[in-house]
Amino acid sequence: MTEATRRLVLLRHAKAEWSDNDDHERPLAERGRKEAPVAGQWLAGSGVVPDLTLCSTATRCRETWKLVVAELPQRPKTVYDERIYEASLGELIAILNETSDEVEDLMVVGHNPGLHALADALAGEAEGDLLARMNRSGYPTSATTVLTFSGSWKNVEHGVGRLVAFWSPHA
């Protein structure tokens, strides 16, 4: 029996308003409300439809996901996880390790610097110049990365993935 090939999609929230209010409650800026559906269209055009989406509870992430998922051919199960907000690389890997192996394609909607660090750490290999492009970009708002790997979510660790796609509305 061969091990399942899994896909991990990392989506940074779209551009948010700057505010003196609580950071967790910052809404999307007008630019973000325009970019998020474009990210959803890119995902749909790439044939990437997650089985499960883990989304930060921050307002800007919830709003981004609502606009992205409206562009997908089907709505995946969505879990809003407060641990994704301000999560470190290690905390994000621990969250991935909890994922059921029934999930083949997982999406995480979250924040920088955690998502960029996660994409960079997991990408043991990359197609073409994707890794250089991703790192050169600084992982802007609405940036989306797709990584593949074999095996269990419990075994996700540094270097296990292959970076197969990187998209940004600014790249």
User: pLDDT at position 82, please?
Assistant: 97
Tell me the whole-structure pTM to 2 decimals: 0.96
Give the C-alpha separation, 9 to 50, whole Å: 8
Q: Does the bond joining 113 to the residue before it have cis omega, within 30 degrees of 0?
A: yes
How does strand 5-12 pair with strand 105-110?
A: parallel
User: pLDDT at position 48, please?
Assistant: 85
142 within 8 A of 169, measured Cβ to Cβ: yes
Mean pLDDT by 10 residues, the chain (171 residues): 82 93 94 97 93 98 98 96 97 97 97 97 95 94 97 96 94 64
User: pLDDT at position 68, please?
Assistant: 98
What residue has token string 């043991």?
A: 124
User: pLDDT at position 170, please?
Assistant: 78
User: pLDDT at position 53, please?
Assistant: 98
What residue has token string 């999930």?
A: 103
Q: In this structure, is the dihedral angle defined by the CA atoms of residues 56, 57, 63 and 69, taken in order, positive or negative?
A: positive
Which DSSP letter does residue 28 get?
Answer: B
Give the C-alpha separation, 162 to 92, whole Å: 18
User: pLDDT at position 171, please?
Assistant: 64
